[in-house]
Amino acid sequence: MEYTLRDGRSSDLDSLWRIDQACFPPGISYSRLELAVYMRRPGAFTLIAEQPRPKLKSFGEQPGTILGFLVMQEESNKVGHIVTIDVVGNVRRAGIGSRLMMAADARSRVSNFSSIYLEAMVTNLSAIEFYKRHGYSILRTELAYYSDGTDAHIFSKDLLSSPVTQ
């Protein structure tokens, strides 16, 4: 599948919010406002995996189709926080999430982050497997972290001691 990575723009917000709504149940997915706030925070960046649309002579350049995205923010002490990573349902398991994680990892290293952390529902077995595959390990488990009472694993990756993943 052909796709490229690019930085998110404020005009992507509606598409990203719709993808997030489809990825997570109500109450767990972000509201449009929450997502906008995370994306606009100082030190935050959004990475987007996008499939280009074929150029049509009559319409010129068309916007691409977003296949997945990742929102990362910088905490005050050079620690990165992955706010969310979402890949559209019918294109999962094709390496898109991994490309986004590796790009976020590379950018975090350029910014001299010492580590990255993120949260995952203890019931989200595919995400847990995915994060372990990317060198994350469980730091602790927070009880009833989510609004529906589900516990969260807090995952972390030490960038200073872990190799760059390809």
Ligand X SMILES: CC(C)(COP(=O)(O)OP(=O)(O)OC[C@H]1O[C@@H](n2cnc3c(N)ncnc32)[C@H](O)[C@@H]1OP(=O)(O)O)[C@@H](O)C(=O)NCCC(=O)NCCS
Backbone phi, psi, residue 59, to 5°: -110, -10
Residue with tokens 């390496």: 95
Q: Which residue is nearest to ligand X (CB)?
A: 97
Residue 23 near ligand X by CB under 6 A:
yes
d(CA 8, CA 69): 8
In whole angstroms, the minimum distance from the beta carbon of 56 to ligand X comes to 29
The site string for ligand X over 82-111 (x = CB under 6 A, - otherwise) reads ---xxx----xxxxxxx-------------
CB 145 within 8 Å of CB 99: no
In whole angstroms, the minimum distance from the beta carbon of 67 to ligand X comes to 9
d(CA 64, CA 54): 9
Backbone phi, psi, residue 43, to 5°: 85, 0
In whole angstroms, the minimum distance from the beta carbon of 27 to ligand X comes to 15
Query: Which of 124, 150, 156, 162 is the binder for ligand X (CB under 6 A)?
Result: 124
Residue 51 near ligand X by CB under 6 A:
no
d(CA 62, CA 60): 6
Question: Which of 62, 142 has the CB closer to ligand X?
Answer: 142
**Footprint of ligand X (CB under 6 A):** 23, 85-87, 92-98, 120, 124, 126-127, 129-130, 133
